[in-house]
């Protein structure tokens, strides 16, 4: 009887341990699927999956504690119009356009209630709601900083502008904007409806 009890207890312990391991594995898988490159970044910073996942979970809890709100329709329209201006200005002055794009991201986040004093904090907060674009934000910011040193070519600047656009659209919810549901501004047509192309100006257009 004693042996039987010991065997049952050991089986229960083994089942509980297996359940815990399975739960952790599923949690890790969900975090990896949700954050993608941002998960890899956290893992590279910590060197420990458990620590990386703890940081991501803490990040989520922190963002949930913020008083973040959606933009009002008139605010969305205003920011969408500001972005169109930034995008159209790329042909004449790519450097200034990237500066304005970066500043517009900060303005949108501030209006929505995000803390904006630190770039890394902004990127982390964005990753919780928009993990699919935060990597592009980091890349665009890196290019914008390199622009100040004069070490970036036009193609890289164009790619950065496209990355900023992805982030701006995610933050303002451009698809739900009344004006932009009717027309998509194109940087080469001074705001006229696009003809299906939504990329930044081409190399030939930026050199004209």
Name the pLDDT band for 175 (thresholds 50, 70, 90): very low
Q: What is the model's pTM? A: 0.70
Residue 183 has pLDDT above 80, yes or no: no
Write down the pLDDT at residue 184.
Answer: 40
Rounded CA separation 63/83 (Å)? 25
pLDDT exceeding 70 applies to what percent of the chain? 80
Residue 207 has pLDDT above 90, yes or no: no
- Residue pair 160/140 in contact (Cβ under 8 Å)? The answer is yes
Residue 198 has pLDDT above 50, yes or no: no
Rounded CA separation 167/101 (Å)? 10
Tell me the average pLDDT across 150-157: 87
Q: Which residue has the higher pLDDT, 72 or 150?
A: 72
Write down the pLDDT at residue 140.
Answer: 94
φ and ψ at 193, to 5 degrees?
-55, 140
pLDDT 10s digits, 98-119 = 999 999 999 999 999 999 999 9
pLDDT exceeding 90 applies to what percent of the chain? 51
Residue 185 β-bridge partners? 193
Residue 179 has pLDDT above 60, yes or no: no
Write down the pLDDT at residue 25.
Answer: 67
Rounded CA separation 180/78 (Å)? 11
């Amino acid at each position: 009887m004693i042996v039987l009890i010991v065997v049952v207890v050991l089986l229960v312990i083994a089942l509980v341990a297996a359940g815990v391991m399975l739960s952790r594995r599923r949690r890790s898988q969900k975090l990896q699927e949700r954050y993608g490159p941002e998960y890899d970044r956290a893992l590279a910073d910590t060197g420990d999956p458990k620590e990386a996942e703890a940081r991501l979970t803490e990040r989520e809890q922190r963002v949930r504690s913020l008083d973040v709100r959606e933009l009002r329709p008139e605010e969305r329209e205003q920011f969408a119009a500001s972005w169109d201006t930034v995008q159209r200005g790329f042909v004449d002055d790519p450097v200034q356009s990237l500066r304005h794009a970066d500043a517009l991201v900060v303005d949108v986040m501030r209006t929505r209630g995000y803390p904006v004093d630190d770039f890394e904090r902004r990127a982390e907060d964005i990753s919780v709601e928009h993990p699919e674009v935060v990597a592009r934000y980091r890349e665009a910011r890196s290019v914008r900083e390199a622009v100040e040193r004069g070490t970036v070519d036009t193609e890289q600047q164009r790619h950065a502008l496209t990355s900023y656009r992805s982030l701006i659209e995610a933050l303002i919810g451009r698809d739900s904007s009344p004006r932009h549901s009717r027309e998509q501004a194109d940087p080469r047509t001074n705001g006229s409806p696009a003809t299906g192309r939504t990329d930044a100006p081409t190399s030939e257009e930026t050199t004209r």
